[in-house]
Structure 1
Amino acid sequence: MMKSNVYAGNEDEIFLYVGEKYVIEQQEGVLATYTSENEEIAAMEEQVITGKSSGETYIVVNNNGVEKRLHIFVGDYKLCTGQEELMEFDLSSVMNAWNSSIRSSDTSVVSAVKQGHDKNEVSFLFNAVSTGMANITISSGSTVLESFAVVVQNHPLAYFERIEPTCSQKGSIAHYECLFCSKCFSDADGQECLDDISIDESEHEYAIVKMEAAACNKNGYAEYVCQNCQHEYTQLLKGGHEYETKVVKPDCVNQGYTEYTCKRCGDSFRNSYVDALGHNFKTVFYMNYNSVAKQSCAACGAVSYKMNIEGVMVNQSFYPRKWDADSSNHYVPLNEEWNVPIDLDAYGKKYITFTFPKSDVKKKRELYQGVWINTDYVYWYSY
C-alpha cells in the first residue's frame, strides 16, 4: 500500500506498517534531501520512505541548510484513531492456546481484549485510542506466543464533493474519507463519523412503448422503458372477468341471492341463495263470531284469512270440520279431500264447486253470504 502526502515543513510524525511505502511530494520550489537515521527500520530512497521493521527512527530533511527531523513509527500492524479491529491468530502449534492472554505495553495508544477461541484459533479485539506505538504480547502462562508492534495514526483525510444519484447508481454526500481505513467523516478533523454517505438512486422515468390491453378471456401486457437509463421491463396485465357484486335480500316469497356482473363484458351469475323468509302474519281483526281471523303480513302486507281448526260458530251454532251434503252451512279443509275453486256461471253469479276425488261427483251451490278462502280452508253458509 502506498500513501502520499505533501511535505510542507509542518508534518512531524509519520506512521507506517512493515512493507508500506510513503511518498513525500515536495512543494514547488522546495529542493530538499532526506536521510534515514536507521535504514533497518525505515529506508529512504529519494522521496520514498519504506517501513522495514518495527521500531522508531527519524528522517532528517535538509532544505537549503535548514534541517527538520521527521519522527517515523513502524509497526507490524497499523490502525487509525478510534478504529476497532478484530484479529485472529493461529496458535495451533502451542499447547493450551485456549488459555492465552494478551497485554499492551501502552493502553493509552491501543488496548486489546480477548474475544474467544475456536480450537486453536484465538481472536482479539484491538481498540486504537491515540497516536503512537504499543508492543503487544500474547502469552500462555509464562510462555510468550506472539509479540508484535501496533502503530496508531490520525486519519489521513481526503475531501470528496457531493455526487448526485442517478436512476441506475447511488450518489454520495460531501464528506471526508480516510485514505487508510476508509472511514468517512463530516468534518476535516475526523471527529464526526458518518455511518452512511450514500444517497439512494433516483426514480426511473418510465414511459410505455408498447401495450396490449387485457380482456376477459386473455391477459395483456405493457412494456416500459426508462427515458434516462433505458432500463426496461414488462408488466403483465391480468385478464379475466371483473365482477361487481350485488346482494339481493330474501323476502316473504322470493329467495335471496348474490349476483355477480362483469363490468367488462356483462357476464353474470348468481350464488349464495337464501331461502324465502315466509309471511309473518299478524291478526288484524276477527269475523263471523270469531270463527274467521283476518291476518296481514307484517313484512309485505299480504292478507290471509284463518279459520278455527276444529270448527266454526255460525249464528251461535257450532259446525265441526266436515262435509255435510244436507246442511246449508259447510266448512271444508282444502288440504284433506277437496279441491275447491271458485267459478262464475254464465249469468255472472258466484258458485263454488266441490270435486270428490274418488267418485268424481260435482255439486254447485249458489252463495248468498260470504266466502273465505285461504290455503287451508273454505267456509260458506247460505239461507
Structure 2
Amino acid sequence: MSYETVHTIGTTVYFVFFLLFLWAMRVPRTNPGAGWWAVAMLFALSARLVLILFLQQESRFTLSVYSALNVVEKVCLVIGMVRFFNVRVPLRWFWWALAAIEIWILLVWAGGAPALIRSAGVALFNAAILSCVAWLAWRERARLNRSLMCATALLSALLVLHWLSAFLIIEAEPSWSRHGFMLGTVLVLAQYFSLLAAVMLSFQKRLLEAESRALDLAFQDPLTGLSNQRYMTALFEKALLLANRPHQLAAIIYIDIDNFKPINDRAGHRVGDEVLKLLAGRLRKSTRSTDICARVGGDEFVAICTQLDDAGHAHEIAAKILREMTTPISVGGKDYLVGASIGVSLYPMHGDSLARLLDYADQAMYQVKSSGKNGYRVHEAAETAPA
C-alpha cells in the first residue's frame, strides 16, 4: 500500500470525524469535550494533508510540520477529556508542555539534528499525553459507560505503546513506515469512535434526564414532591385494579388543613411552605408506598389507599393521618399547631368514578369543618344521591 493511499485513508477518516464532532458541538448545551475533539480532528486532518501535499518536496521540513500539528492534536484530545468529565486539572501545564515540544521540533529542524531526535521527543510527548487520556478514561469509567470508557483507556494505552515503539522500528526498518502509519490510523479511528460514542451517550443521558424532569413537572407538585391532581387522576384506574380484588376496598381520603392561613399571614409564605412540606411528609408516613398521595390545592391533600380489607381499615388510616396532622410542627425553632378536617369515601360502596368519590369525600370533609373541625368522617351510603 503506497504512502499516498495510507495518508488518503487517514485524511478521509479524520475529515469524517471532524464533521461529526463539529455537528455534535453545535447541538445546544453539548458537553464542551466535543468541541475540543473537533479541534483535535482538525489538527490531525491538517497534519495528514501536509504529508499528502508536501511529502515529495522536502521530507525533513514536511515531517517537522506534521509533528508540530500532530502534538497539538494530542493536547486538544486530552483537554477534551478534562472538559468532558469536568476534571479539576490545571490546563496550563498542557499548554506549557505543548510550547516546549513545539520549540523542540523547531530547534531540531533549524539545527539540522538527526530526525531520530525529533521523533524521540515527539513520541515521548505524545505517549505522555495519551497516558493522561488513558488514565482519565479509566478513572471516570463509572460516570458514563464503564465498557466504553474501558475501551477508550485500552485504545489510548495501545497508542502509547505504538508511539514509544514505532519510531524505533522505523529507524531500524524504514519500509515499516507505511504499516506504522496505517496501524496508528486504525487505533486513532477506534479511539475517536469511542469518544464519539461517549458524546452520543451524553446526549441520550441528557434527553432521559430532560424527559424525567418534564414528567416530574407534569405530574408532581413542585413544592411538596407529592403527585398533583393530573397524576392522581391518571393513576386512579390502576388503583382500582388493585382495589378490585375480591372483598377489598379503596378509600379516597380528602384532607383540608385547618388554621393554615394564619401561619401564612403572620409568619410569611416561606414558613407556610415549610409547614406544607412537613405535612406532606407526614401524609406519606401515614400511608403505604403503594398508596397515592397528592396535593390538590393550596392546603388540600388527597390520599387514595387501595387493598383495604374493610371499612374499619379506612378508619384506622384516617385516624393515623389526623394524629400526624395535629402534632405540632417545628419550623425555624418555633412550633406551629394546625389541624385537619378529613373526609373519606369508599370504592365501590360510594361510587366507581374518581370525580364522584372525591365529591363525596369533599362533602364529608366539609361536614367535619361545620361541626368544629379537627376530625374525620366517612361518607355514609344513605347520604349518596341516586346516580
Question: TM-score range, shorter-chain basis?
Answer: under 0.3
Question: Scaled by the length of structure 1, what TM-score is found?
Answer: 0.19
Report which of the two has the higher share of helix.
Answer: 2
* Structure with larger Rg: 1
